[in-house]
Amino acid sequence: MLTLIALLLAAPAPTHAAFYDADGHTWLVDLRVATLQRADAWLVPEGDGLRRVRRQVHGRSGHDVAELPAPPSRWTTLDTARLGERRWTPLRPAPNVPAPGEACLEDELHVLQFLGDRVSALRTRRVDFAGAATATAEAFTLDSATGAAAAAPATPPASLGGCATTPAGGLWLEGAGGARRQWHVLSAPTDGCAGEASAVPAGPAAGGVAMPAGAVDARVAADGTTLSLRGAPLPTEGGLLTGLAAGLGDPCEARTLWLTRPGAVAREIGRVAALDGLRWLDEGSPLVAQAALWFRPLDQACALPLSAHSQPVDATHHCRLDEAEGRPWAGPADLSATVQAEWVKRGRLAVEVTVQDAQVTADDQLRLWVGEDRRPTRAEVSQAGLRVRGGKKARRAARGRLQGKWTRRRGGYTVTLTVDASLLGDPPALTVAVDDVDKGGAQQTLWVAGDPIDSRQRRATPLAGGR
């Protein structure tokens, strides 16, 4: 007993904990202040950096070479990239996609569990060719960095009946307390069973910690700090998992997350579905060091309304990025920006956007939407100067009331704007975005100020605090 107490006293207290869900999120708990944040990406600490993993949906137009209507194809991939890299690496080879008009492919990867070091998934494939359909299912667990497959359990059962008559691979899944167990997966190669699969345990669970009273899941750090879940039991505690294509359990199950520090009362800090892949972290972890670029509280909006004060604001956050289809964001050196604004003489708003861009090209530009009207004034500022969109009427309205200057600087460029209050409207509104276009044509966009403009959101965002 004295030895155990001595070990607990000697164990360094973690400052944070991170875990994952199957929908592409990483969760971060600040143990010092009992707060919960989420990143819209799978982020895995790796040495002094981070590795990202994503599930990406792809599609091909449903038209053949003669532009005749044909069923479209859809498939998904699992890709990885270390932060700083400018390309995604597939964890598994992409499927063979038929030419348009030849056949219709539905190849889906259903991520069942992401544990940081491993990802477990069910792949369902359905091909319609000349009116005949074939369907298959495959289950696997991969190393999230290399794509290497974990060993499949041996000697699967012959049949479970129904849509579970054919071995479809094996999985490693994490259950309550962090215990990991292998599972056999069975499906059926028939159209009527497309997407259906069931799993049975291939052996006993290994590892894990004892459950605190009232908890359905828990993890315990070396110093005794405990994170636990209360609510509905985890699905992996049963002897049979069915309908795997729908995931593991109901993501809407009500489970609450509780933090217990040694010698303190348990505190409820939020709602989560599971503690998959939980790891204890200190302040030296790259996940903690870069948290401000990736994580935010669930009740905090992503968009950053422009505020008219003289201090620069760092607008860089992954949630404000529209990443290029072909490559990941490589971090702040790749694209980041600060913005500052203040009211100056004669009722004008002065705005300065400082952009850090590792590869400045002639196609890089700053876009802005000005005014609270349903159809705001649209303009661009690039190396070629200021350009107002929308025809002669828009250009006349902006003449003398909107000015923009693009200046090259080391590591990027700066754009300065001066906007008349009469163009900003009442309340004054302005949305600003930076388009980073690589030499190869890949484009990523950082929404520096305001909500993203799209087909549903056409108006500029009012300034925080107005005038």
The pLDDT value recorded for residue 70 is 62
| The pLDDT value given to residue 10 | 56
In a domain, 34, yes or no: yes
Interior angle at CA 456, CA 21 and CA 88, nearest 5: 40
How is residue 237 written in tokens? 């505690």
321 in the same domain as 236: no
Question: How does residue 161 score in pLDDT terms, banded at 50, 70 and 90?
Answer: confident
Nearest to 243, CA basis, from 349, 68, 110: 110
Mean pLDDT along residues 395-422:
95
**Average pLDDT of the segment spanning 244-249:** 84
Given 233, 265, 294, the domain boundary residue is: 294
Same domain membership, residue 332 and residue 270: no
* pLDDT average, residue stretch 191-205: 85
The answer to whether residue 461 sits within a structural domain is: no
**Is residue 347 one of the residues assigned to a domain?**
yes
| 373 occurs within a structural domain | yes
Q: What is the mean pLDDT of the chain?
A: 90
Q: Quick one: 250 and 151 in the same domain?
A: yes
Residue 324 above 70 pLDDT? yes
pLDDT of residue 172: 95
* Of the listed ranges 29-38, 100-109, 367-376, the one predicted with least confidence: 100-109
Q: Count other C-beta atoms under 10 Å from residue 214's C-beta.
A: 11
Distance CA 18, CA 117 (A): 13
- Does residue 395 surpass a pLDDT of 60? yes
Any domain includes 462: no
- Could you tell me how far CA 450 lies from the centroid of its own chain? 20
Give the confidence band of 167 by pLDDT, cuts at 50, 70, 90: very high
Q: Look up the domain containing 437 and give its range.
A: 309-449
- Adjacent-strand bridge partners of 380: 367, 387
Whether residue 23 is found in the same domain as residue 134: yes
Same-domain check for residues 313 and 261: no
Mean pLDDT across the stretch 249-256? Answer: 79
The reply to whether 459 falls in a domain is: no
Whether residue 207 is predicted with pLDDT greater than 60 in this model: the reply is yes
Other C-beta atoms closer than 10 Å to the C-beta of 250 total: 11
Q: What is the mean pLDDT of residues 300-307?
A: 94
Compute the distance between CA of residue 354 and CA of residue 412 in angstroms, rounded to an integer. 8
293: exposed, middle or buried (Cβ count in 10 Å: 0-12, 13-18, 19+): buried
The pLDDT of residue 67: 54
Tens of pLDDT, residues 123-137: 998 888 766 778 888
Q: Is the pLDDT of residue 1 over 70?
A: no
Q: What are phi and psi of 392, to 5 degrees?
A: -60, -40
Indicate which CATH number applies to the domain containing 418. Answer: 2.60.40.1190
Hunting for tokens 């348009």 — which residue is that? 100
pLDDT confidence of residue 174: 95
| CA distance linking residue 328 with residue 322, whole number of Å | 10
CA distance 264 to 261: 5
For residues 94 and 12, membership in a common domain is answered with: yes
Q: Domain for residue 456, yes or no?
A: no
259 and 369 both lie in a single domain:
no
Interior angle at CA 267, CA 266 and CA 269, nearest 5: 145
Task: Give the per-residue pLDDT at 296.
Answer: 97
Reading the block at residue 223, the tokens are 């110093």
What per-residue confidence (pLDDT) applies to 7? Answer: 47
Both tokens of residue 63? 């038209």
Whole-model pTM: value is 0.91
401 closest CA partner among 379, 416, 423: 423
Mean pLDDT of 325-345: 92
Amino acid at residue number 136: T
Tokens matching residue 281: 């972290």
pLDDT above 90: residue 466? no
Count of C-beta atoms within a 10 Å radius of residue 375: 11
Residue with tokens 């401000």: 292
How confident is the model at residue 62, as a pLDDT? 59
Is there a single domain that holds both residue 339 and residue 200?
Answer: no
Same domain, 107 and 155: yes
pLDDT classification of 9: cutoffs 50, 70, 90: low
Band (42; pLDDT cuts 50, 70, 90): very high
Cis omega (within 30 of 0) for bond into 286: no
pLDDT of residue 4: 47
Same domain? For 275 and 324 the reply is: no
Gyration radius of the chain's alpha carbons: 26
Q: How many domains does the chain have?
A: 2
Mean pLDDT of 424-435: 96
| 285 and 166 housed in the same domain | yes
Same domain for 47 and 109? Answer: yes
**Is the confidence at residue 267, as pLDDT, over 90?**
yes
Q: List the one residue out of 224, 280, 286, 276 whose CA is nearest residue 251.
A: 276
Confidence of residue 8 (pLDDT cuts 50, 70, 90): very low
Q: What is the per-residue pLDDT across 108-120, written as a single tens digit (0 to 9) for each?
A: 999 999 999 999 9
Name the maximum alpha-carbon separation found in the chain.
Answer: 84
End of a domain among 245, 267, 294?
Answer: 294
Query: 69 falls in which pLDDT band (50, 70, 90)?
Result: low
- Looking at the chain, the whole-number percentage of residues with pLDDT higher than 90 is 69
Domain membership flag for residue 237? yes
Q: Indicate the residue among 247, 265, 294 that finishes a domain.
A: 294
pLDDT at 2 over 80: no
Residue among 413, 453, 447, 414 nearest 432 (CA)? 447
Q: How many residues does the chain have?
A: 467
Q: How far apart are CA 410 and CA 394, in angstroms?
A: 34
pLDDT at position 68 over 60? no
Least confident of 5-9, 174-178, 280-284, 349-353: 5-9
- For residues 187 and 156, the answer to whether their CB atoms sit within 8 Å is no
The pLDDT assigned to 134 comes to 81
For residues 244 and 236, give the distance between their C-alpha atoms in angstroms, rounded to a whole number: 11
The Cα–Cα gap between 435 and 56 comes to 22
